[in-house]
Structure 1
């Protein structure tokens, strides 16, 4: 490691610790620790939301997938902005802020619990987040550690430990304020780093048009194993209905694009802002941020094939040694000048740390505030901090034992589970007074159970790897006929969760007391 890089990293880490210390000094109670005192401004909220959303999973994992799947993944950019920003902020954000404040909810599970007057929802949701988020957190840790390993030759396992310790410091002590303040700084670094990268790759390959023409001409070099499953090239969409198409559309584009709207770590951001005006202002900042960061990652991943073929005679996945998660790091270290490699290291560190900090905070608060403290009927900052520490330890252990090429897959799985478990109930909580407590419980449980069933028994990418279906039935998956082995669990489980939420609500009724409370809640929301 040379002196310039050492200085940059020291300054960066010092800034994170300083911001975390400032947040700690301004955190005095559970409301400060969990929802930033409900006083965040638009810039901090938008960059915190965007930096949490866009992690190393998006840059390294999905950028790498663009290197193997092609530019069809750009549809995910559209959904990230249309669903993850505009629909989330304008349609979901405003009522979530108002209702969350009325209910005095401090976490997403508590929000749903108080809306439906059900402690079971809080316990179940808190446990679900605590048990499923670690694979997502570990995936993001792995993405950052891989780049650190490739760039400055620090041992992968040591890189994971160092990152976890630094992030843990300001999350445990600073709470959501520490997370959001550092997110805003990290988001600014991410935006500038990705913008420079986008301009650089097009300049390197002779401009936008020429670069894409070169990539189109490489279609014959697309791996034969992928062509057999329906792939047609890096600039064309795969054959409709093929296994390649199902994986790209159902798992990557829809799974992550739609799943974003019901992410607990994102939804809680709406409860941190001062007013609807702040949310309106945040839309533009968040939209531009998401576009630049995701568009750059996917375009660079795909166009890296052109660079590697011109310089080594290999396509990207070959140059990266067969590891999708190494395509972006390998390209940066091979193609870009050393000074930018250092800038991009800070960009990736920012992407990883901003997302992981939120994951640790949400996972820890879920088990501590939504399970332990809810059962004990009391709130405790000390218990919440212990919960976060436990979350950090679990994520680090998983990062050590998870296999390669896990970054994008781990992200997709978590986003999908959150979508089926929470989206129907979250939507009905905000906009349908008739939703009953039993309907909400049925929706969350049915969505979770059906999603897990598909992951274990029908979705080949996961089921075959886990081997549970093989052990119990003698078959890799229950249904081998097309398209079932390649259909993402969300495509099956989300309609089931909606049917149960609506169906059970129509068949049951809330108590008179609950109906009165709901009417007051919605009137208060309309008048806020």
Structure 2
């Protein structure tokens, strides 16, 4: 326990150093928010992938998906790596960087304003980001707090307070530059951690084929191509977590900050390999929870004989992994989470300060004042997220599902069609954004659909409405256009 405490303390010291290093190089809002727009390929690759994956993956998703779907949860990993990372970098990378320069924008809300000449869409985007990123950030804090409780026997509230404080200090000091700098350190820890975790799990389970056979002995579908819940729930999870990144502001931001086309080419390869490794290991380890956990051996993961999905992976990592490896695994999840938290805090704070305050309240605000306000907004956003995490309103997978689903439903249609199809109209963007978000929230809060299903349907709605409304509005405005 002493060694583990010292290692974690040293880890936090490195984060503090990164914050101070970023502070010395942060002289403007562009420095604080985008690192000056001059981030290289390897740093960009690490900061994208580490922002994508967090404690939400390792703690909430991996445990729940692994327990329910078995080995077929790996389809989510393949979707995340090949669509959410490779697809985004290849299809969107250059287009986003080119757009940010052409329109002179630093946020997604600014893009909506200038692309569609619509302050209303800008206001809609800034409010949606702030509102729906709070539960997302809370889910990450919840995952880390469960992890610290399992590893240190620490009170959940105390763990939340520590994680919130560390995140606030390192983000308020240096912003994006600190985040990008420390993400390389985080990424290397994650690579080492997943390699060790994979080797140990395969050894413990007697190899891949033996693990699959043991899962099939429990339920034949746990070792099948599609797990027991069926293809539709699995598709929804793959679609939600793999397609939403095409319009997730905290991931799109990475391309605003990247240096040039060469950095995009190198980053595409590096981030894809990294994502495949991290997500593949997470979902594979999650599938073994049924083999290594039981109410008798790990009572902390069960209540009345039923699994507590948010507690499965913390209990697996804390009680099944040898003590000699537990520190590395703890740092693995901690590293994945700190980068995600930093990205979410930056985007949410900019939505309130750059998009809302400077866009609607005080348009003549100075660059220095913007930077100072970003620091205050970062602290306020972290405080709200910690308070929500303390209340624990739902499971991690449900919270993340509705957060990603809502943002994806609101932004996918307006952003993608606005980026690649010049005829997309302002009306189409508004109908697409409001229609997608309304569909997602309506399905979820009426109890018709689970959050992954509601998010998937809302995102599909958003993608379909934009070109459909554009086509109709063009034909109404120019009846002869259809025959051209």
* TM norm. shorter chain > 0.5: yes
Distance 1:436 1:499 in 2: 14
Given candidates 345, 357, 378, the residue that maps to 1:372 is 357
* Structure 2 residue 364 is matched with structure 1 residue 361: no
Tell me what 1:422 maps to.
411
How does 1:135-214 map onto structure 2 within 5 Å? 135-214=135-214
CA contact (8 A) 1:68 1:317 kept: no
Given candidates 322, 337, 349, the residue that maps to 1:337 is 322
CA contact (8 A) 2:413 2:465 kept: no
* Structure 2 residue 267 is matched with structure 1 residue 282: yes
Runs ≥4 residues deviating over 4 A = 309-321
Given candidates 371, 374, 388, the residue that maps to 1:398 is 388
Given candidates 424, 431, 435, the residue that maps to 2:420 is 431
How does 1:111-130 map onto structure 2 within 5 Å? 111-130=111-130
Structure-2 change in CA distance of 1:433 and 1:330 (3 Å) = same
Secondary structure of 2:222's aligned partner? coil
Structure-2 change in CA distance of 1:421 and 1:460 (3 Å) = closer
Distance 1:320 1:185 in 2: 40
Tell me what 1:470 maps to.
none
Deviation at 1:281, TM superposition (A): 0.2
Given candidates 438, 458, 465, the residue that maps to 1:500 is 465
* Structure 2 residue 454 is matched with structure 1 residue 489: yes
Structure-2 change in CA distance of 1:320 and 1:124 (3 Å) = farther
Given candidates 374, 377, 396, the residue that maps to 1:387 is 377
Deviation at 1:247, TM superposition (A): 2.9
Distance 1:321 1:403 in 2: 19
How does 1:405-484 map onto structure 2 within 5 Å? 406-461=395-450
CA contact (8 A) 1:212 1:303 kept: no
| CA RMSD, Structure 1 to Structure 2 (Å) | 2.3
Distance 2:58 2:464 in 1: 35
Secondary structure of 1:105's aligned partner? coil
Tell me what 2:313 maps to.
328
Deviation at 1:364, TM superposition (A): 1.2
Deviation at 1:502, TM superposition (A): 2.0
Distance 1:364 1:115 in 2: 22
Question: TM-score by structure 1 length?
Answer: 0.84
Tell me what 1:6 maps to.
5
Q: What CA deviation, in whole Å up to 9, does each residue of 1:446-471 have, x standing for no partner? A: 21222221122243446xxxxxxxxx
Query: What is the count of residue pairs matched by the alignment?
Result: 468
Q: What CA deviation, in whole Å up to 9, does each residue of 1:122-168 have, x standing for no partner? A: 11101001011111110110001101001011111110110011111
Name stretches of at least 5 consecutive residues in structure 2 with no aligned partner. Answer: 475-484
CA contact (8 A) 1:320 1:326 kept: no
Distance 1:490 1:248 in 2: 13
Structure-2 change in CA distance of 1:440 and 1:313 (3 Å) = closer
CA contact (8 A) 1:304 1:316 kept: no
